[in-house]
Amino acid sequence: MQLTSIQQLQLKHSSVRRFLPRPLDPGLLESLIRCGQAAASSSFIQAYSVIRVTRPEARAAIAKAAGGQCWIEQAPEFLLFCADLRRINAACEGAGKGELEGYAEHGLAAVVDVSLMAQNVLLAAESQGLGGVFIGGIRNEPQVLVEQLALPKRVLPLFGMCLGWPNESNPVKPRMPVGFVLHQDVYQEVSAERIALYDETMAAYYASRGSNIKLSDWSTATATAVQGKKREHMHEFLRQQGFFRC
Ligand SMILES: Cc1cc2nc3c(=O)[nH]c(=O)nc-3n(C[C@H](O)[C@H](O)[C@H](O)COP(=O)(O)O)c2cc1C
């Protein structure tokens, strides 16, 4: 089967964390956001906002909060993607239906909306020759985002995105075999033997890459990563911002 140019672009994705000191051309950022907005949206709620962070002090505070990720300060663009229920709340109040309740389903719909939108932004950027990386590390200290960027209630900072012209090219990380994630008719557990084979593939990848060489595999790296990112404050933070209250 012949892959389209879009499929080829998708399959060569790798995150970029080092950038040339060159700004985006005028209008490019707006066109990327427009592509993001073209993503499907649950009930067309369009429950997202993107904050372009240009203030160096804010970038520095966010980089520190995200565990010292210097590319947040160095990237030509740093965007914060938020689930945003404020416009929906205003619509509810305007229609005389009262304040929007913080139902789990509304929060989930907003989180899905912003995620689809952000991936569209990154893909559009990559199609222009730009590179970027998502930054979930902002959830280490989400209150820093609230304070630095004046985020009101019903706006939930979910992840950032560094964008710019790449100054590095990383090898593509081998994804799990399609058979792990594509199930037919019923859920099919992946056997430990097949996971072990994927671990071997990932161990070879980690050992062979040019920088950040690791002696690890997918299972080990993942088990370690989730222990280090429990972010127990998130439960209370979600409630504070008006999400998932009931
Ligand atoms: C929601 C999300 C949050 C992420 N957070 C970070 C982050 O804080 N810092 C970082 O360097 N990479 C981050 N990444 C990038 C992942 O580490 C990366 O996508 C993954 O290892 C696969 O590598 P690839 O994008 O190069 O294929 C994040 C990715 C996603 C989707």
- Cα(134) to ligand 1 centroid in Å equals 5
pLDDT tens, position by position, 42-67:
999 999 999 999 999 999 999 999 99
Angle at the Cα of 222 from the Cα atoms of 156 and 199, rounded to 5 degrees: 145
What residue segments make up the domains of the chain, in order of their start? 12-170+233-240
Residue 51, helix vs strand vs coil:
strand
**Residue 73: both structure tokens together:** 């300060």
Q: What is the pTM of this model?
A: 0.97
pLDDT of residue 228: 87
Q: How far apart are CA 207 and CA 191, in angstroms?
A: 24
Q: Using an 8 Å Cβ cutoff, are 53 and 151 in contact?
A: no
Residue 30: CB partners within 8 Å, gap ≥ 6? none
Tokens 């205003």 belong to which residue? Answer: 90
| CA dist 181 → 121, 133, 189, 220, 226 (Å) | 24, 23, 10, 19, 20
Q: How many helices (H) and strands (E) does the chain have?
A: 11, 4
Q: Which atom, in ligand 1's list, is nearest to the CA of 17?
A: 11
- Which letter does DSSP use for residue 128 in this model? T
Looking at the structure, give the CATH architecture of the domain made up of residues 12-170+233-240. Answer: 3-Layer(aba) Sandwich (3.40)
Kindly state the percentage of the chain with pLDDT values over 90.
96
Compute the average pLDDT of residues 196-206: 97
Q: Name the token pair of 87.
A: 């416009």
Distance 4 CA to ligand 1 centre (A): 25
Question: Three-class SS of residue 135?
Answer: strand
Is it the case that residue 213 has pLDDT exceeding 90?
A: no
Mutate to test the pocket of ligand 1, among 134, 168, 214, 231 (most ligand atoms within 8 A of CB): 134
Q: What is the pLDDT of residues 72-109, one digit of tens each?
A: 999 999 999 999 999 999 999 999 999 999 999 999 99
Query: How does residue 133 score in pLDDT terms, banded at 50, 70 and 90?
Result: very high
